[in-house]
Structure 1
């Protein structure tokens, strides 16, 4: 039987827009080892199953399963992937994250190969060229703080961590583009069965267990959550409620703070748009008008998520984008 070193896992749900691009990138990876593709689809009714099946014969090792919406949670399905994986390493992607080059898979597992104490690896995310400026700026700023593009950064717990803010940075984790040891996922640090912010909980758990986390910027993907203005408040609501449910505390957001953020969007945000050579002039004008509105919706969602009672499930479902998308797709 062929030894498989890495299992690349992709959970899908109405993912027809990006899957061909994603599988094309995965099929061109240059590595000196065997890897498999594992896809678990949550009963998509668009072209997602058709696209997945069309790619199955193009890979040497490819498995595809379907689950129902009630069976899905972000944490549960990722842990199930670890249990099903044949590889020594489980590599996680989302359906809208596309490897940026043909050495991505090699780079994402190198810290695991070289450093025995490293349990989880977080790759870099680069915003897509057409992304919403607010998200584009946030993605660039977020990943820039973890280290230079030419190196690999290691994070661990020690007495240099003297504040909650620093602890949150050390434990920050995103499984949009990541890899972990299967042996540890099935042992000390499994993914928790939680609906949201499962990656933040995983990052915290692995650091608290005395392991190391690595940031591998050369393992970069193109990724941006495409979101409509009408949905952005609910998207942010979901994210912050998820973070609160895994134990993160957040200070209330004042109206004055929101006003300052809108002013920043009109000034510095507009300058960011004007300097971005990836936007056409027509698109720049579009974003100059729309970007401040996205900022308003973002902070409205954050404020609502901080204020909501976590035991008030009825209100949470009402304000949740994921819950409403599931209903719209006829899945609940």
Structure 2
């Protein structure tokens, strides 16, 4: 497919079931709009690449590429961008699913608003008989609109960006383990581009159903907070003093008492986990000093 208008980039690492679900939903899009799907494997050690290759025969608009040098979802996204030529870049995480009209709805929003950077609505899906960590995740959710309004970014799992923006401000900061979505969105906002929330364009993300999954994520988030300060002190402050929680994902006060107490306790625990991750990164020092700064698309 020559010069597709939209390129969908999906980074993945060791998630064969998640990438299968995501690809199944993307190849079922009810649109004739030209688009390509680029899956970027971040050096998986399991069957993930094999699963992606099973789609090659029947879907010539799907491509598998690899990012083996840098273990970073942002490095993988950059590799995906460099292996596409779409005028619009869409980013989806492995394990997410989208309805059949997702791409058409997003393109309608981009055309009607003339926005350069669009965050989609994300709904979390619960398992049957959800445990406390799943219910907490579902309640606090993905407040994409709040992120855009108060922190000027959208998560990279639900993001559309015009290629011209990357050509102007650069790619994602591949040195970051977490927080690269915020750093990129802030850079786009500072450059004067329009950031927009697409309330009617919905994507689906499964909840994190175990305490272990939450701890793993929040520890990574804490490391990313320190890395943001280390690599971008002019915007995020000097390393050594972690930023205060934004409060965007704080449990609501009108919850039943039992849930309010349980969610509040879990929220405090995960705040402490982020602090642990922050100081682990702070004490470890700059482990990625050999990497260049924010890479450029045209380099």
Normalising by structure 2, what TM-score?
0.77
State which of 175, 179, 184 in structure 2 corresponds to 1:197: 179
Residue of structure 2 in register with 1:135 after alignment: 137
In the TM superposition, residue 227 of structure 1 has moved relative to its aligned partner by 5.3
SS in structure 2 of the partner of residue 55 of structure 1:
coil
SS in structure 1 of the partner of residue 155 of structure 2:
coil
In the TM superposition, residue 269 of structure 1 has moved relative to its aligned partner by 5.9
Q: Does 1:242 align with 2:224?
A: yes
In the TM superposition, residue 295 of structure 1 has moved relative to its aligned partner by 3.8
Gaps of 5+ in 1: 147-154, 156-165, 273-287, 317-332
Q: Does 1:76 align with 2:75?
A: yes
Tell me the distance in 1 between the aligned counterparts of 2:211 and 2:126: 18
SS in structure 2 of the partner of residue 127 of structure 1:
strand
> What does residue range 55-66 of structure 1 map to in structure 2 within 5 Å?
55-66=55-66
Normalising by structure 1, what TM-score?
0.70
Higher share in helix: 1
Tell me the distance in 2 between the aligned counterparts of 1:221 and 1:177: 7
> What does residue range 181-260 of structure 1 map to in structure 2 within 5 Å?
181-195=162-176, 196-224=178-206, 226=208, 228-247=210-229, 248=236, 250-251=242-243
In the TM superposition, residue 107 of structure 1 has moved relative to its aligned partner by 2.2
State which of 287, 295, 301 in structure 1 corresponds to 2:273: 301
In the TM superposition, residue 63 of structure 1 has moved relative to its aligned partner by 1.0
The answer as to whether partners of 1:28 and 1:102 remain within 8 angstroms in 2 is yes
Residue of structure 2 in register with 1:33 after alignment: 33
SS in structure 2 of the partner of residue 207 of structure 1:
helix
Residues 144, 271 of structure 1: alpha-carbon distance in 2 compared, 3 angstrom cutoff: farther
SS in structure 2 of the partner of residue 206 of structure 1:
helix
Gaps of 5+ in 2: 230-235, 288-299
Residues 6, 193 of structure 1: alpha-carbon distance in 2 compared, 3 angstrom cutoff: same
Number of corresponding residues: 268
Residues 72, 269 of structure 1: alpha-carbon distance in 2 compared, 3 angstrom cutoff: farther
In the TM superposition, residue 57 of structure 1 has moved relative to its aligned partner by 2.1
Query: Structure 1: which 4+ aligned runs deviate by more than 6 Å?
Result: none
Residues 269, 124 of structure 1: alpha-carbon distance in 2 compared, 3 angstrom cutoff: farther
In the TM superposition, residue 199 of structure 1 has moved relative to its aligned partner by 0.6
In the TM superposition, residue 77 of structure 1 has moved relative to its aligned partner by 2.1
